[in-house]
Every structure is written in C-alpha cells, then in structure tokens.
Amino acid sequence: MNPSQAIKVAREILEGDFALHYFSSEHLNLMQRLEESILSPKSEVVLLQGSPGCGITTLLSRLQVLHPTVAKLFKGDIYIGNWDFVDHLCDALNVRRGNYSKKNLPPHLFRVLSLIKCKAILIDDLDIYIANEGELDQVFRTIRALSSGVPGLTFVLSTRNERLANLYFKYAQPSWWSHGIRQRISVEEYRAIENRLWDGLNENYSLNVVKANLESFKPSYGLDIQNVTRTHRLHFVERFLLQQGALEILSDFNVLEEYESYVQSILSS
Amino acid sequence: MFNQSSLPEPYPDEALSSWMYRVREILPEPEIRALSGISDHDRETSPLVAPYLKVLGGLGADLDFRFERPEILAFTQAYDLSLDWIKSVFSPASAKTIPISFRSDYCLQCMEESIAEVGFPVYLKSWRLLLKPFCQKHGCVLQSTNAYLYDSIDFGMDIFEHGCANPHELERESKWLAKDSEVKNLSRMVVNRIDFLLSQAEDAVVHDKVQNFVMTLLRITLMPKLWGNYSSIIKFTVQAGVDFESKKEIPMFYQLPLRVTGMVRARSFYLIGLLLGWIDEEQAGNARPRDDFYLATSASTLWRLVGNSTRIRTILQLYSTELLGVSMLADWECF
C-alpha cells in the first residue's frame, strides 16, 4: 500500500460508520434484547434514555440496517402536536391521513400495520420535535392504541426530555419497558471495546496493525463512551500510518481534541 | 429526473391506475409534491393548480385501459416511460371489460396480500373482466364496494379505506357468500368451462361469438322476470337509480350485466349453467340454500319465466357456434 492509499484507508476508518460490535457489552446485550423484541414481537414499547453520544442513534440505525424489512426508523422529521405524529406515521407507511374530526385514529392505519412486514417502529430523539407540550399526551395515546390494536407491533423510542419520559411511564402497560444507557463505562469495558475495535478494523480492512508492546492503551482521555471509541480509532489509525511509513513517531497528547486535530492534519496533508 | 429502474415494479396483474398511484406516492413529481402541501381551498381556487388538476385528477377517465388519455401521456412524460412499454404491461386480456363507471369489484385477500408485499392495496385489472366474477388467484367471488368510489384514481386505496371504516359491510357480504357457497361453487365451474371453450376458439370471430352468446345468457339471467320479487334478492345490489330501473326493458337488458356486482354475476353463471345443462336439477337442488325457495333449479323454470321472446331467440341463434349454441341449451324447446 502506498502512502496515499494508506491515507485513504485511514480516512475511511475514522469517518466510516460506527459498527455496533465496537460498542460496550451493555450495548450488545441491549441490541440482542431489542432484536428479540423485533423478531418475536410481544407488542412492547421500549423507551431508551441516555446522554448525547451514548450510542442510542447508532444502536437504532444498526437495528434498522440489520432488519430493514421488519424495522422502520423515524429520525429527524417527526413533529408533535395535534395529529402531526399520526400524520407522519401515515405518510411513512403510504397510508392516507385520517379525518380526525371524531378524534379517532384512521382504521386503515391499524389494518395496514397488521398486514405489512414492518413490525417495529423505531423513533430516535422524540424529544427534540415537540411543537406543543400540551399535546404530548397525544403521542403516547397513539402509541398505546397502536401497540394494543396491532398484534406484535413493537415501538422503540428514545428521548432525553424528562417531561416526555414521565408521560411514557404514565401511559406504560405491563409489556412496556425502559432502559437507561450509561455514559461512563468501566475499565474492563474499555479494554473489551479496544480489543473488539482493533480486531474488527484489522479484519474489515484486511490489515495487521499491532499495538505497541502488545499492551493496551491507558484510558488517558476518560471513560465516556463516545471519547473511548474516538480514542481507540485514533490510536488504530496512528499505528496504521506508522506501519505504512506515513508517520515516523507516535504522538503523545494530553487532550483528546489536540490528538484528533493532529491525526486529521496528517490525513489532510 | 426519473428512470424506469428507480420506479417500483408493477405488481402481477396490476391495473395502470393503481401503479400510477403507487409511483406518485413513492416518487412524487415536483408538481404533485407541491400540490400535496396546500389546503383544499387553495387547491380549488388557485389558477396555478387548475392545469395540473386537469391532468392529474382523471376523475371518470379510464386510466386502467385507455392508454391514449392525456393523464397517462403526462405520466409517461414525467417518468420518462414509453407508451409501448405501458401497453405491453398493462393491456387487458382480450375479454369483455366492465366500463370504468361501473367498476366496483375486488378481492380483499389479494388486496391484503399486496399490502404485505408492496405496502399498497393494489387494484388488479382482472377485476374488471365482465365474465370473471371470481378472483383469479383465490377463487372466491369478488366483493363489491360502494358504487360512488369508481372514479377515484386511487381506487384500490379508496376501497381498502372504505372497507376498514365499514367492517360491518364486509361482514354482511361474507355472510351472504357463505350462505350461497354451494351455488357459487357451481357458478365457478360454469365460468371455468366457458373459459375453456373460449380458449378453444380458432379465430377472433368465433371467440367474439362465444363471448356474445354467453353475454346474452348473462343478460337473460339478469332480466327482472328472473329476479322474482323475493327478499333474498336484496343482496344483489344493482348500480342504478330508480330512474334507470323504471326505463324500458331494452336498456336494462343490455346494461344490467355491467351494472351489477360481482356477486350477482356469479349467481348468474349458476343460472347459465342450468340453461346450458351443465348443472342438473339434483345438483342444483342440493346446492340451493335451505331458505332460498325462489332460486331456480331447472332450465325449464327459467325459460318459462323468460317467456316467448323472438328477440332473444334471434340473438342466441345469431351468436351460436359449434362451441356454444342454441342446440346445447337445456329445455330449449320450452322457450
């Protein structure tokens, strides 16, 4: 591999999609549990909570990628208030919007949902689309009605809005469950992610990048999940570039942002 | 902007209007995308919208089979499709079809299967075949929706929505069909046998004659004289107002096969089976529902009800062929 090819691969590694197997064991367990809910549906409504960067979006995207026929991901375009949420569902399912004069959900929406192969509706970041807080109830009334009216329909939604989360619990049924994703991981998880990421990238790109002295890196940039994954990827890329002769020595930065800028500057040079 | 490979594949036997609707829902043309966002009032009053409505609306136009319609030409231009390709995929079978103004039949099971497969209730062109009141795939009698839906461009979606909103209508129809199931089995046998005869026709002239002979029998079985005046006939809703029904006999004779529901036509094929001697009295007696006292079980009864009509006799003789003719009619001498 010549240096320009090496830089291209390094860019791909840094900018590429974050595959879930580089995540923590908590993510992996949750993923497995959600896959069970989708593939053997029990009319569950799952609420995922966590700080920005904790991996919920990646997890939901991954679910959709793995099960494109069964799962439908709603992301970045839901507006809540009056019947907007229902309208949005109708539009996404190619079902005509209903006449809400009698305050009922369109009956054909139930029928279509029970007939189509899509059995899981994944809604990412529900909280950022609130138009009118007074009408938030409408969302959970709809979700509850669809979940009980369409056998085997699963909802997985994430929110960081406390008010919305409280409403979830107000409307919750016995088959509903929630999960809070931890932002901070343990040192053991840090090592596990490192090993998975290292092996995964070597395998994906047919590389043989080895760690210095065959030892793990110290978690010098903290144990927050998003920093950990960034750090490991930067470490991998730096060592890959060294191996390919694009670098002469390894760096030693105390601040993650400086380290990232340094690697990026090499890639853009 | 669009190319054919990016468009959804036509569903087997899908009617063109149904496919056009799906394509526009999935990949709307910019004009349609803009129109969908404006209010009903603006849509009706805006001078900018009027030209598009004329092309896109298609109310009452046969967008299933009339491929030269401006709405279809506009569609082919917008999606860069050739009219020849449209014709090759969506042309109807060479059989008599129900005019767009009277279309109402569908198979709910087919519709639900298409939703599972492509996400839309697809409308099939075979549901408009006049001499086929049974689903080509499931063998069931075609159900019929409210007559006022016929002119929608998105007929399949309308039927489906109407059915979802009025489940009692579907239940009522299912009960009637279940009650008549034995009679309908015999009807299906008659339809299949006629189909076979049509496939044996050596040329187009004979084919047309056989079709017309069957059409005449269908018209005979739908004559008011044969309905009787009994309550169970109520289920055979005729798509016509009082004005139409009170008119003279001849328009009724010619138009009723087009106006009645699939269920009525299916019943007529049972009567045709009697007239052709393909169903004997014992079979008919066994099949007749217990409380349907007035359903004919013999050809002689039917001929007696028809009475002496030179016109009908002449028409039947005119369309007689070696495949199907007056000589094959049971109890023809009673007529």
Tokens of A39: 């593939």
pLDDT at B243: 60
CB contact (8 A) between residue B119 and residue A93: yes
With an 8 Å Cβ cutoff, is A269 touching chain B? no
pLDDT at B259: 82
- Residue ending a domain, among A147, A164, A180, is A180
DSSP H or E run through A122 = strand A120-124
Give the Cα-Cα-Cα angle B212, B215, B221 (nearest 5 degrees).
150
In the 3-class helix/strand/coil scheme, how is A96-113 assigned residue by residue? CCCCHHHCCCCHHHHHHH
Mutate to test the interface with A, among B19, B164, B166, B168 (most CBs of A within 10 A): B164
Minimal C-alpha gap between B34 and chain A (Å):
15
Tokens of A236: 């991998």
Between residues A215 and B122, the one the model is more confident about: B122
The reply to whether A138 and A226 lie within a common domain is no
In the 3-class helix/strand/coil scheme, how is B24-47 assigned residue by residue? HHHCCCHHHHHHHCCCHHHHHHCC
Q: Which of A96, A106, A112 sits opposite B115 (nearest CB)?
A: A112
With an 8 Å Cβ cutoff, is A112 touching chain B? yes
With an 8 Å Cβ cutoff, is A68 touching chain B? no
CB contact (8 A) between residue B116 and residue A96: no
What φ, ψ does residue A262 adopt, rounded to 5°?
-60, -50
Cross-strand bridge partners of residue A37: none
Range of the domain at A248: 3-22+185-268
The reply to whether A155 and A198 lie within a common domain is no
Q: Which of B112, B120, B165 sits opposite A94 (nearest CB)?
A: B120
pLDDT at B84: 94
CB contact (8 A) between residue B160 and residue A111: yes
Query: Helices A84-92 and A107-115 meet at what angle, rounded to 10?
Result: 40
The reply to whether A95 and A121 lie within a common domain is yes
Dihedral angle computed from the Cα positions of residues A196, A199, A204 and A206, in that order, rounded to the nearest 10 degrees: 180
- Residue ending a domain, among A127, A151, A180, is A180
The reply to whether A116 and A32 lie within a common domain is yes
pLDDT at B128: 94
Rounded Cα–Cα distance for residues A160 and A68 (Å): 25
Contacts of A106 in chain B (CB under 8 A): 161, 164
Minimal C-alpha gap between B67 and chain A (Å):
26
Minimal C-alpha gap between A106 and chain B (Å):
8
Give ipTM to 2 decimals: 0.77
What φ, ψ does residue A249 adopt, rounded to 5°?
-135, 160
Q: Tell me, what amino acid is at A29?
A: N
The owner of tokens 């940039």 is: A221
Q: Residue A244 gets which letter from DSSP? A: T
Between residues A82 and B98, the one the model is more confident about: B98
CB contact (8 A) between residue A115 and residue B160: no
Rounded Cα–Cα distance for residues B24 and B78 (Å): 10
The reply to whether A170 and A223 lie within a common domain is no
B154 contact partners, CB below 8 Å, separation of at least 6: B17, B18, B21
The reply to whether A53 and A167 lie within a common domain is yes
- Residue ending a domain, among A180, A210, A227, is A180
- In chain A, the N- to C-terminal Cα span, in Å, equals 18
Contacts of A101 in chain B (CB under 8 A): none
With an 8 Å Cβ cutoff, is A191 touching chain B? no
| Average pLDDT in chain A | 84
Region at B80 (left for phi over 0; alpha for psi -120 to 50; beta for the rest): left
Question: How many structural domains are present in chain A?
Answer: 2
Between residues B204 and A18, the one the model is more confident about: B204
The reply to whether A15 and A34 lie within a common domain is no
B313 contact partners, CB below 8 Å, separation of at least 6: B326, B335
- 3-class DSSP assignment, residue B12: coil
The owner of tokens 């609130």 is: A130
Contacts of A111 in chain B (CB under 8 A): 115, 160, 164
Minimal C-alpha gap between B116 and chain A (Å):
4
Return the closest-CA partner of residue B98 out of B68, B146, B65, B56: B65
CB contact (8 A) between residue A117 and residue B165: no
Contacts of B170 in chain A (CB under 8 A): none
Q: Stretch A25-31: mean pLDDT, rounded?
A: 86
Q: Residue A176 gets which letter from DSSP? A: -
The reply to whether A201 and A225 lie within a common domain is yes
Return the closest-CA partner of residue A14 out of A261, A180, A269: A261
Q: A83 near A99, Cβ under 8 Å?
A: no
pLDDT at A78: 62
pLDDT band at A13 (very low <50, low <70, confident <90, very high): confident
The reply to whether A106 and A130 lie within a common domain is yes
Rounded Cα–Cα distance for residues B244 and B248 (Å): 9
With an 8 Å Cβ cutoff, is A110 touching chain B? yes
In the 3-class helix/strand/coil scheme, how is B62-123 assigned residue by residue? CCCCCCCCHHHHHHHHHCCCCHHHHHHHHCCCCCCECCHHHCCEECHHHHHHHHHHHCCCCC
How confident is the model over A230-268, as pLDDT tens digits?
A: 888 888 898 898 888 888 888 888 888 888 899 888 888
Cross-strand bridge partners of residue A120: A71, A154
The reply to whether A245 and A204 lie within a common domain is yes
Distances in whole angstroms, Cα of residue B286 to Cα of each of B182, B271, B277 = 8, 14, 16
Mutate to test the interface with B, among A79, A87, A91, A95 (most CBs of B within 10 A): A95
Per residue of chain B (335 residues), what is the pLDDT tens digit? 567 778 999 999 999 999 999 998 888 876 655 555 556 666 566 655 555 555 555 556 788 998 988 888 888 888 889 999 999 999 988 889 998 888 889 999 999 999 999 999 999 999 999 999 999 999 999 988 876 666 677 888 888 988 898 888 888 888 888 888 899 999 999 999 999 999 999 899 999 999 999 999 999 998 877 876 444 554 555 555 556 556 667 777 888 888 888 888 999 999 999 999 999 999 999 998 887 777 889 999 999 988 878 889 999 999 999 999 999 999 887 66
Cross-strand bridge partners of residue A130: A80
**Residue A115 CB coordination number (10 Å):** 19
Which CATH number do you get for residue A79?
A: 3.40.50.300
Q: B69 near B61, Cβ under 8 Å?
A: yes
Return the closest-CA partner of residue B16 out of B83, B88, B75, B90: B90
pLDDT at B234: 47
Q: Tell me, what amino acid is at B312?
A: I
Q: Tell me, what amino acid is at B1?
A: M
Q: Which of A106, A107, A116 sits opposite B116 (nearest CB)?
A: A116
Contacts of A100 in chain B (CB under 8 A): none
The reply to whether A76 and A120 lie within a common domain is yes
pLDDT at B231: 44
The reply to whether A30 and A14 lie within a common domain is no
* pTM of the complete model: 0.80
Q: Which of B115, B157, B164 sits opposite A107 (nearest CB)?
A: B164
Residues written for chain A: 269
